[in-house]
Amino acid sequence: MTTERKAIHYGWHIVWTGTFCLFACLGLARFALGMILPGMGRSLHLSYSQMGLISTVNLTGYLVAVLFCGSLADRFGYRRLIVTALAATGLTMILIGRTSSFAMILFCYTITGMGSGAANVPMMGLVSQWFARSHRGKAMGFWEKRLYHACFFLPPLPCTSTFFSVDRLPRKMRCFLKFP
């Protein structure tokens, strides 16, 4: 008696990979900005106008990338664009944590925004390409929903300790740990 094992559709591997992509480009790069910005502003003595400008250039970078990522994905391929965008996002986030120059922070957050948009939108298209119309909604819902699960179930753990004060950490360390 032979039992056939039904293989998992490859599109579901794309969904799982896309979940991590979405968490990196939106959860860490875009949504964490609101948590990082107050602490960055205090330690770098930034005014509210300067902090607002940081948020603005991040959003502007995202919007610029969204405008052009469709043609870039067609030209270079979805996967290559996503990997390049995530690498740029990660690199600029590391640079943000290591610099204290306002101009460099503006430049890096612009590239971070561009990387977020250039990874998010093509990933959405890639996930939808792997499923028939009848299963596309389930796949896209599963993909999108996982970001919010990841953000909810990954709280900043050191904050729960009474022996550890986040305020004692330098700004650069708080940027990497997603603390304000």
How do residues 64-117 score in pLDDT, each as one tens digit?
A: 999 999 899 999 999 999 999 999 999 999 999 888 899 999 999 999 999 999
Q: Look at residue 164 and tell me if it is in a domain.
A: no
Quote the mean pLDDT of the chain: 80
Instruction: Judge whether 162 lies within some domain.
Output: no
Burial tier of 167 (Cβ tally within 10 Å: 0-12, 13-18, 19+)? exposed
CB proximity list for 78: less than 8 A, separation 6 or greater: 122, 123, 125, 126
Query: pLDDT at residue 178 above 60?
Result: no
Residue 104: its pLDDT value, please? 96
User: In the predicted model, is pLDDT for residue 180 greater than 80?
Assistant: no
4 is a domain residue: no
Q: Which single residue is written with the structure tokens 């270079």? A: 76
Q: What are the pLDDT digits (tens) for 128-147?
A: 888 888 887 888 777 776 66
Predicted confidence (pLDDT) per residue in 11-21, tens digit: 888 888 888 88
Q: What is the CATH number of the domain that holds 138?
A: 1.20.1250.20
Report if residue 88 sits inside a domain.
Answer: yes
Residue 74 lies in a domain: yes
Identify the domain containing residue 148 by its residue range.
10-152+171-177
Give 37's pLDDT tier (boundaries 50, 70, 90): confident
Q: What is the C-alpha to C-alpha distance for residues 89 and 112, in angstroms, rounded to an integer?
A: 5
For tokens 């300790």, name the residue: 161
Cα gap 51→166, rounded to integer Å: 21
- Please indicate, yes or no, if residue 116 is contained in any of the structural domains: yes
Q: Is the pLDDT of residue 167 over 80?
A: no
24 within domain boundaries: yes
Q: Does residue 102 lie in a domain region? A: yes
SS3 state of residue 55: helix
Which residues have C-beta within 8 Å of that of residue 28, sequence separation ≥ 6? 93, 178
Supply the pTM of this predicted model. Answer: 0.76
Number of domains in the chain: 1
